[in-house]
Structure formats: C-alpha cells, structure tokens
Amino acid sequence: MGFPRGWPIALLGSSTPAAAGPHPGAETGLLSGSSVPARSAGTSSAMAASTGAPFRFAVVLAHGAGAPSSHPWMVAWKERLQTLEGCALCHSFDFPGVRKAEKLAPHYWEAARETLRLAGPVDALFFAGKSMGSRVGCISLGAEHHAADVEVDASGSPLLSGVPIRGVLAFGYPLKGGGSFRTAPLEALPVPAFFCTGDRDPMGPLPELRAAIESMPCAASCVLHTVETGNHSCEAQKSFLKRNDLTQDDVHAASLAAAARFVAQTMHEAAAGPTAKAMAKPAAKAKPAAKAKPAAKAKPAAKAKPAAKAKPAAKAKPAAKPASSAAQAAPAAKAQRLRGKASPARGPSPARAPKRARAPSPAPKADEAASAAPVSSRTKRARARSAAAKR
C-alpha cells in the first residue's frame, strides 16, 4: 500500500526526505504535474513486507459548514478515498443543524461507531473532513472531547471499540476564523495529521499553518500538502492548469497520492512500535552546558559598634530641711483660736416692708380714645376733603 490503485507511478516525481522540508513533516506540492512526496514511504510491495501483511483501515468523512455530504466535492472525495489500497470503507455523514464545532464532537463519535459497524474488522480508523469537518475531527480526538467508550493505548492513540484511531486527513483546514487563528485543537491532537491546502486559501494561510503544525505533539509525523494556486477546496486556478497542461482531476489525484503515502507511513510506524516513531522524530538539540555561576563575593565584616557611653550618676537630692517647731505649732494655734471664738446666735430675720401698690393708669382721654379707634376708609376720605377745603 502506498499509492491509489491504478495511479501512474511515473507522475509522482522524486521523493525527498522529511528533513529537507522547512518544518517538521515534509511539505508536498503539485508543480508541472508532479507531486513531491512527504517521506520516502516506498512502494506498495515494500510496505506490505515491512508490516508482514496487508492492513485494513476505514475512513469517516465529515462535510464542511457550507455543504452536506451529498455535495459533489464530498461525493468525489469519498469515492477517491475508497480506492486507497487497504481501505475497507469510507463512510460520510451529515451533522445536525448545529454549526458550533465544539458541540459536534458527539455526532462525530457516533458516525465513527457506525463506520466501524459497516466496515467490519479493521486494523485502524482515520478521521477525515472538509474544512469544518476536519476541525471537528481534530476537536473530537482531544482528550476533553472523548466519548465515554473511548480508551487510549500505550502510544497515546484513542481506541474506539478496540480499534486505534491513527490519524486525521484534513482538506482545507480552517485555521483562521473569527479574526483569530484557532490552534488549540491542533496543539491537543494526540495523533499525526495530513493537511491538504491551497496556497491561496484565506482560511489556512501557509505561514501560520506551518507554525501551528510545529506546535503539534506529533509534528514530526505530520504532512502538509499544498496545491499551487489552490483555493479552500484544494482546487487550482484554471490559468495554472492551462499553463501546465493539467486538469483538476490531476490536481486531486496528486493530493490523493500524498494522502495515501501518509496513511501507509502512519500504519508502518504504528506496526513498528515506539522505535520507528523515535527514529522519525528529529534529534533534539543538545542544550548548552549551564554556565558556572561566579562565586559569591564575601560580605565585609560588620563594623563593631562603639561602646555606649556611661550615663553620669544622678545627683542626690538634698535632704529636706526639718521643719521648725514654730512652723509646726502655727497651724495648731490657729485652729485653737478658731475654736475659741463663739459664733453669735442668729435671730429671726426682720420682716420686710410690703411693696407699694402701683397706682392704676389713668383712663385715656376721649380724643386719644377716638384717635386710637380704627378709622374707616370713608372717614379718611372725608377728613382729607375737609383738610383740603381749609387750605
């Protein structure tokens, strides 16, 4: 296994080792009808000899946010993946109306169970998806989104019904969304992934996607396959196809060949055990020896504090002079004189003369009483006319 059945080997081009790529996991691309492989995976017969027997695997394929599983792109890629040697079944399904990726993980696990039921006995399962479907697949494999019946084997791969999930096939992975780069699902992904993306895909810009791949736990086993002038659907521009005498089917066939090599290499590493994985990872750079810290300078001895000066002894207060006998006798004599004086007996207080009664106020005279009486307005006017006539 290693290439799709019926795929012309001459079109694949030469192989380059992973170390030649600018990031962990060699990058592949379509240029003038040739695909640069991700790794030197070898031919189908070499792979069968290394594993000891042909292996069987199944693929569960999820659609993107813009189209269901019946979309022509989904139907065509389901048929392509089904042609891979060793593929027992490629099963596609539809998500419910919910469009929040984090809430779709349970539905992905349900589709995976259905895939295993329909495929029969298989050695491995691969999660695949277009755009949002690939992101949901990565989220589902994160430990916090595992289904209740999912276990983990010694290599860290999730197990569903005893079948290990070995990797993810992501077509047009939507790294950019909502104005930010959503790298968390990739940083938590415990299995390697194959990324097929167009170099003009606005949702998966290559510099940021390469950086995200470098941060993945299985970065050394991941593969990035780029389609020159490709869009979000991994389809090249017509001008590029015309200039290189290619068809869109040629572009998809090269992407399928890269995916086949990824599946073959991933299964090979799983069959070989931890040793093969360790060989695939780049050697860690030796850390430089830690510089010896300079010896701490000895602190100067603390200066001795001068002895405190002795305080002069307090002067003794002079003894109180003894009181003279004359001064002692003075108070006693004064008290004797006071006791000797007889206080005169106080008689009854003399009666006070009664207060004079005030004379009654004289009665007001008639003219004053008249003037004090209230005057009506008519009277006032009459008086005013009378005074004016007298003038």
Q: Report the CATH number at residue 175.
A: 3.40.50.1820
In a domain, 163, yes or no: yes
> Of the candidates 185, 239, 190, which has an alpha carbon nearest to the alpha carbon of residue 212?
185
Nearest to 172 by CA among 143, 142, 205, 146: 205
pLDDT digits (tens, 9 = 90+) for 225-255: 999 999 999 999 999 999 999 999 999 999 9
pLDDT on residue 199: 95
Residue 88 to residues 60, 70, 76, 358, Cα–Cα distance (Å): 11, 21, 17, 140
Is 180 among the domain residues?
yes
Q: Work out the average pLDDT over 97-119.
A: 91
The reply to whether 285 falls in a domain is no
Burial class (CB in 10 A: 0-12, 13-18, 19+), 34: middle
| Tokens (6 digits) for 296 | 């701490």
Extract the tokens encoding 315: 């002067």
User: How does DSSP assign 203-226, residue by residue?
Assistant: TS-HHHHHHHHHTSTTGGG-EEEE
pLDDT tens-digit series, residues 153-209: 888 889 999 999 999 999 999 999 888 899 999 999 999 999 999 999 999 999 999
Query: Are 258 and 28 in contact, with CB atoms under 8 Å apart?
Result: yes
Query: Would you say residue 87 has pLDDT above 80?
Result: yes
pLDDT band at 376 (very low <50, low <70, confident <90, very high): confident
Distance CA 258, CA 83 (A): 14
Side chain identity at 270, as an amino acid letter?
Answer: A
Where are any strands of DSSP class E within 193-306?
A: 193-198, 223-227
pTM for this predicted structure: 0.62
Q: Is the pLDDT of residue 137 over 50?
A: yes
Determine contact, residues 230/199, Cβ cutoff 8 Å: yes
Q: Report the SS3 class of residue 236.
A: coil
Q: How many domains does the chain have?
A: 1
Identify whether 164 is part of a domain. yes
Of 389 and 277, more confident: 389
Of 30-39, 173-182, 282-291, give the range with the top mean pLDDT: 173-182
Inside any domain, residue 303: no
Residues 6+ apart with CB under 8 A from 191: 141, 156, 157, 158, 165, 166, 167, 168, 218
For residue 170, the SS3 value is: strand
Q: Compute the distance between CA of residue 270 and CA of residue 273 in angstroms, rounded to an integer.
A: 5
Contact 112, 160 (CB under 8 A): yes
**pLDDT (0 to 100) of residue 15:** 30
Residue-level length of the chain: 391
CB atoms < 10 A from the CB of 125, how many? 25
Tell me how far apart the alpha carbons of residues 134 and 80 are, in angstroms, rounded to a whole number: 17
Of 153, 162, 66, nearest in space to 122 by CA: 162
Instruction: Name the token pair of 87.
Output: 């593929």
- 234 inside domain: yes
pLDDT the model gives residue 143: 86
Residue-level pLDDT at 161 = 93
Bridge-based pairing state of the strands 163-171 and 27-31: unpaired
> Among residues 176, 157, 175, 156, which one has the least CA distance to residue 166?
157
3-state secondary structure of 90: strand
Residue 257 banded pLDDT, cuts 50, 70, 90: very high
User: What does the block give as tokens for 177?
Assistant: 């969304």
Q: For the chain, give the mean pLDDT.
A: 75
Q: Compute, in degrees rounded to 10, the torsion defined by CA atoms 277, 278, 279, 280.
A: 50
> What would the DSSP string read from start to end of 316-352?
PPPPPPPPPHHHHHHHHHHHHHHHHSPPPPP-PPPPP
Residue 200 or residue 313, greater confidence:
200
pLDDT at 381: 86
Tell me what pLDDT residue 9 has. Answer: 28
Spatial distance between the Cα atoms of 31 and 188, rounded to a whole number of angstroms = 33
CA distances from 70 to 67, 115, 210 (A): 8, 17, 31
The pLDDT score that the predictor gives to residue 194 is 98
Domain that holds residue 24: 9-280
